[in-house]
Copies of this chain bind each other. A is one copy, B any other.
Amino acid sequence: MPASQGSTASSALGAFVANSRWEGIPPSLRHEARRSLLNFLGCALGASSDPAVASAARVMARFSAAGRATVIGRPERLDEMGAAFVNAIAGNLFDYDDTHLETVIHPTAPVAPPLLALAEMNGHTGAALLHAFVLGAEVECRIGTAVSPGHYDRGWHITSTAGVFGAAAGCAKLLGLDAAQTAHALGIAASQSAGIVENLPTAAKNVGMGNAARNGLLAALLAREGYLAAPTAIEGPLGWARAMGDMPDLARITDGLGSQWEFSRNTYKPYPAGIVFHSVIDACLELRARVAPGDIASVTVEGDQLLLDRGDRPIRTERDCRVSIHHAAAVALTKGSAGLEAFSAEALHDPEVEALRRKVRPGLDAGLPRGAARVTLRLADGRELTSLVADARGSAARPLADSELEAKFRKNCARVGRGAEAERWIAEIWNLEAEMEPAGLIRSLGMDGWKVEG
C-alpha cells in the first residue's frame, strides 16, 4: 500500500531514516553521539567480566556462525546477532549507562551493539556508524515519548520495548534499506517488542535488553529479504502503541522530526545506580564531607512517589543495591564515593554499610520535583544536617563534561585491567567521525586485541 504509507508512523520514520544525510545532522548531535558511545563502551568494558555477561556469551557461542564480531572486553567472537545480544547486556548491566530522562530509556545499549557489529563486519565508516546510531536512538526515544508515562507504569521496561525499534532503525540505515523497507523493519520490530518491569531486579531484565539489540537487527535483515509488516503496526487499533500503552500520544513520534532531536536530551550517569537515586547520592556525598559516618543516628531520605516506588525495597543482591534508597544513602555516607565498588558484593555485605542501611528511612515529600531528593541526618549528639539536591550530577541541568565522561571511561577500563589502552580508545572515539574504518577500534575492544596489543 505505497499510497497510504506516507501517513503512518512507520512510514514517516522510515522516510526520515532512509532520507537522512550525515551533513544534515547538527554538530552538537554528532558530538552527543560520540559522548554516548564513549560512555557505552566504557560501561560495557567495565561489566565484561561479570558472570551475567559471561553466561550470555557462553550461550550465544553455541548459537553463532563462525565468530566474526567483537564481544566487548571478552575473548569470544560471535556473529552479529550474538555480539549484539551480549554487548547490549554488558552496556546496561550495572545501571551505569545513559538516560533519556523523560522516558527513562537508556538509549545506547540496545542501539549501538548491532551497529558496532555491522560496522566491524561490513567495513562501514565512522561517520556511517555515528549516523545510524543517531537515527536509531532518535527513533527509539520518539517512540518512547509517544507511550510515556503510561507504558512504563503498566509494566513495560521501556528501554527494551522501545530499544528494538531503535536497533531496527539504526540497522536499516547501516544496511542501506530504502524508506519502505525501513518502515517494514519498524513494523517487524513492533512484533518483537518485549520486556517487563517486574523482572528488573533480575537477569531476565538483561535478556530483554539483549533481545532488543538482536531482534532489531533481525527486523532489518528480514525487511531486506522482503518481509513486510502492517503499515499501521505502531498506531493501528490492534497495534503496538495501544496494546502496550494506555493513552499513547502518537504525534510525539513525528512532530518536529528532523528539526527537534529527542536524542539531544541524552544524559550520562556518574553513579552505577538507578537514575532516581542520583540526587540521593549527591546529597549524601555532600553531607559526608561534614560528618563522620559513626556519628549518624538516623538518615531520612525524602523524594517524590517515584523515588519511593522504585527504591524502597528489600536488599538481597548486588542488583538490589543499585535500586535501593537505603543502600545508595548508606554507601555514599559510609564510603564517601559511589563508583562501581560501592554497588559490589563487598559493599552489599560491608558491616559498616549494613549498619547504616538499617538507619535509613525513606519518606514522601510530594512537593519535591521528580529527580530531587532531601537527605536529613540526625546525629548522635542531637544535631541535624540537611542537604537538598534539586538536580543531580549528570542530569540535563548539570550534564557531565567530556572530561568527566573520560574519567568514567578510564575507571571502567581500569576495572577490567585495560587501563593502559584507555587514552588511545578515548582519542579514537572522539575522532570517530573522521575514521574511515572503525573496525580496528571495535576489534581492539575485544580480548584478542588486548592480547595482541596490550
Interface residues of A (CB under 8 A from B): 1, 51-52, 55-56, 58-59, 62-65, 79-82, 154-157, 160, 184, 187-188, 190-208, 211, 215, 218-219, 221-222, 225-230, 232-233, 236-240, 242-244, 316
| Given the contacts A63-B64, A154-B243, A155-B238, A207 and B225 also touching, CB distance less than 8 Å | no
- Residue of B with least CB distance to A85: B218
**B201→A188 contact, CB < 8 A:** no
Given contacts A52-B227, A188-B204, contact A243 B155 (CB under 8 A): yes
Q: How far is the CA of A184 from the CA of B57 in the complex (A)?
A: 19
| Residue contact B242 to A155, C-beta cutoff 8 Å | yes
Give the residue name and chain of the B residue nearest to A164 (CB): B194
- In whole Å, how far is A51's beta carbon from the nearest beta carbon of chain B? 7
* A242 CB, min distance to chain B CBs, angstroms: 6
What are 8 A-B contacts defined by CB distance under 8 Å?
A59-B221, A62-B79, A154-B238, A190-B196, A192-B208, A198-B232, A198-B239, A202-B229
Q: Complex: how many Å from CA A20 to CA B135?
A: 50
Given A59-B222, A65-B63, A226-B55, CB of A199 within 8 Å of CB of B191: yes
Q: B residues within 8 A CB of A157? A: 191
A157 to B55: give the CA distance in the assembly, Å. 31
Q: Which residues of B contact A156 (CB under 8 A)?
A: 243
User: How near does chain B come to A106, taking the closest CB pair, in angstroms?
Assistant: 16
Q: Contact at B226–A204, with CB atoms within 8 Å?
A: no
Known: A188-B207, A201-B230. 5 other contacts (CB 8 A): A55-B225, A190-B198, A196-B240, A197-B238, A204-B227
**CB–CB A196/B62 < 8 A:** no
Copies in the complex: 2
* Set of chain B residues within 8 Å of A219, measured between Cβ atoms: 207
> How many angstroms from the CA of A216 to the CA of B66 in the assembled complex?
23
Tell me whether A198 and B55 are in contact (CB under 8 A).
Answer: no
In the complex, A77 Cα to B191 Cα: how many Å?
A: 26
Give the distance in Å from the alpha carbon of A104 to the alpha carbon of B19 in the complex.
41
A113 to chain B, nearest CB (A): 14
Known: A63-B65, A81-B63, A191-B195. A55 touches B155 (CB 8 A): no
A312: shortest Cβ distance to chain B, in Å?
14
Whether A233 contacts B198 by the Cβ 8 Å rule is: yes
Contact A228–B203 (Cβ < 8 Å): yes
Q: How far is the CB of A265 from chain B (nearest CB, A)?
A: 25
Are B65 and A62 interface neighbours, CB within 8 A? yes
Does B199 contact A230, Cβ atoms closer than 8 Å? yes
* Assembly CA distance A63 to B225 (angstroms): 15
* Contacting residues, chain B, for A1 (C-beta < 8 A): 316
**In the complex the two chains form, what is the Cα distance from A200 to B232 in whole Å?**
11
The distance from the CB of A232 to the nearest CB of chain B, in whole angstroms, is: 6
For the complex of A and B, 9 pairs with smallest distance between CB atoms: A155-B243, A198-B239, A204-B229, A155-B238, A197-B238, A194-B194, A55-B225, A203-B227, A198-B236
* B239 and A155 form a contact (CB under 8 A): yes
Q: How far does the alpha carbon of A195 sit from the alpha carbon of B218 in the complex, in Å? A: 15
- Name the distance in Å between A152's Cβ and chain B's nearest Cβ: 9
Least CB separation from A152: chain B residue: B238
Which of B51, B203, B237 is the one whose CB lies under 8 Å from A222?
B203
Give every chain B residue within 8 A of A240 (Cβ-Cβ): 155, 196, 198
